Structure 1
Amino acid sequence: MDFILEPLNLVTFFPLLGVFVLLFLKKEHKDAARWTALVASLVTFGISLWVLAQFNAAETGLQMEINATWFTFGAWEIKYALGVDGLSILLLLLTTFLTPISILSTWTAVQDRVRDFMLFFLLLEVGMVGV
């Protein structure tokens, strides 16, 4: 359970919780889709601030590293690895800060398929943060 609650895992995959909620919303509930995406992105930004609070700028190299082996095929291994350094922490904060602003900027501009738009926007955030 500790693996799931690692701050980097949370900031990376929390928007997926919003995606799952959006999957169960009816397409007619446009405002609920907007609010769900906004809340998910704001919580993700809050988690990124938590990551920043744990970051030690005096240290060099990767911090808060997560390494796990997912699959092993004979001599081949597929591994899952996350970590932040001085540059990536800034990019993480920038991404999670701009995502709610971007969602707010589309509040009235997107009128058709709002649920789908917000769902894919949160998936985009997962991809951007995960890189």
Structure 2
Amino acid sequence: MIQVLQKLPGSLHRQVQIRYPFQASSVVENTNVLFKVNTDIGEIVVMDYRFDDKVFVRSNVCPPCNSIGFTLENGTLVCDSCGTVFDAETGTGIGGGCVAFPKESIPYTISEDKITMKLDDVVTAHEKAIEPN
């Protein structure tokens, strides 16, 4: 469940800020965690992981194979469905059938040990991730 921090009327609804439901300090090194965000374009799955002592938040979708799961291993994100490999730090495709669909980063802040991002940024990253590069 995502906590909505601010509700705005009408056309400003995509500027809503959302807070990740877990503490930032609980994101374990080399572990990928998924969560879902409900938006007006549908449910978006987001991944967050800690790699090289930095937290990353990205759109979690592999459009050609319809996968929403990635395994973090050896500095890469590997699609659980097709095996395409992406760089864990940049999200850029390295090898496999879906390399043209990089994993887009979602800007965030950490305050009081909570990861917070804008709903608009989640939607934008998802929209970029479903278009070939």
Instruction: Output the TM-score relative to the length of structure 1.
Output: 0.30
For CA contacts below 8 A with separation 6 or more, give which structure has more relative contact order. 1
Larger radius of gyration: 1
Higher strand proportion (structure 1 or 2): 2
Higher helix proportion (structure 1 or 2): 1
